[in-house]
């Protein structure tokens, strides 16, 4: 309440979450995110296993009696919101059965004019969060080859292209490759086994 005017004020509280960058916050999905999240999930080429997400299906999952929400034991959806409010993307994290290994997907609203600012910021925030609380040894993001902007964001954040798997899925009618960008912890690199080449590999 504003005492000078005696009118109700609508002060906006800054967004809070699990990880905070310069421009965005990553937090578990809230019910209010679902309509916008459904639209963003539909934009991402990987988010269709086994079926495309719709608002109805997303809401059903969110309210599921046995596994409610979008935060399960090993699979986590983060909503990416601007610090000033407004859903702009999501990050989908899948923990491997190997401790410290995560496979991720990232999406920033294709209509956001400042997505080249938001994308790297979200990746940095996630990386800092993982390093602080989870002691990861390898973190990866799967992107499609045509997603060149994401490749740039990941490279900026210290991820390297590690693997290209050709003809993984149809994207706009064309068979496209999946590219894996990876960050490795210093201890993983220091303790990486030298197993030598395998069959079919140069020198193997």
Partner 1 sequence: MHTIWSGERVRLRPFKDEKEYSGLVDCLHGVPNDFWGAWWDPRPRLAKDFEPAGMLDPVKYSAFAVERLDTGELVGYEEHGGPDPGTIRAWVGTFILPEHWHNGFGVEAKQLCYCYLFENYPVSMVWSSTLANHKRAARGLYESGMHFIGRTQAYHFTDGKYHDQVHYLITREEWERLPVRQVLRRGS
CA 101 from centroid of its chain's CA atoms: 14
Q: Does 204 bind partner 1 (CB under 8 A)?
A: yes
d(CA 24, CA 17): 9
Binding footprint of partner 1, residue count (CB under 8 A): 37
Q: Does 113 bind partner 1 (CB under 8 A)?
A: no
Residue 22's φ and ψ, nearest 5 degrees, are: -75, -30
Q: Residues 75, 141, 118, 24: is their CA dihedral positive or negative? A: positive
Q: Pick from 85, 99, 152, 158: which binds partner 1 (CB under 8 A)?
A: 99
Reference 47, options 79, 87, 91; nearest CA is 91
Q: Pick from 5, 9, 12, 98: which binds partner 1 (CB under 8 A)?
A: 98
> What would the x/- binding string for partner 1 be over residues 125 to 164, using CB under 8 A?
------------xx-x---------------------xxx
Question: Six-digit token pair at 194?
Answer: 């030298």
CB atoms within 10 A of CB 88: 22
Q: Which of residues 13-72 bind partner 1 (CB under 8 A)?
A: 45, 48-52
CB atoms within 10 A of CB 30: 14
Nearest approach, Cβ of residue 64 and partner 1 (Å): 18
Task: Point out which residues bind partner 1 (CB under 8 A).
Answer: 45, 48-52, 98-99, 101, 137-138, 140, 162-170, 175, 180, 182, 184, 188-189, 191-193, 195-196, 198-201, 204
């Amino acid at each position: 309440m504003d005492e000078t005017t005696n009118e109700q004020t609508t002060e906006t509280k800054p967004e809070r979450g699990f990880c905070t960058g310069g421009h965005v916050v990553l937090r578990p999905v809230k019910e209010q995110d679902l309509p916008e999240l459904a639209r963003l999930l539909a934009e991402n080429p990987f988010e269709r296993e086994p079926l495309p997400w719709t608002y109805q299906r997303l809401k059903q999952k969110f309210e599921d009696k046995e596994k409610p929400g979008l935060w399960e034991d090993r699979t986590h959806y983060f909503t990416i919101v601007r610090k000033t409010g407004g859903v702009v993307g999501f990050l989908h994290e899948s923990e491997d059965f190997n401790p410290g290994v995560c496979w991720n997907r990232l999406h920033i609203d294709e209509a956001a004019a400042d997505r080249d600012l938001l994308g790297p910021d979200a990746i940095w925030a996630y990386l800092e969060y993982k390093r602080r609380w989870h002691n990861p040894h390898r973190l990866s993001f799967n992107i499609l080859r045509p997603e060149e902007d994401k490749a740039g964001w990941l490279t900026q954040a210290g991820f390297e292209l590690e693997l290209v798997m050709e003809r993984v899925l149809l994207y706009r009618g064309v068979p496209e490759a999946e590219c894996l960008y990876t960050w490795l912890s210093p201890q993983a690199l220091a303790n990486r086994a030298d197993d030598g080449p395998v069959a079919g590999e140069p020198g193997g």
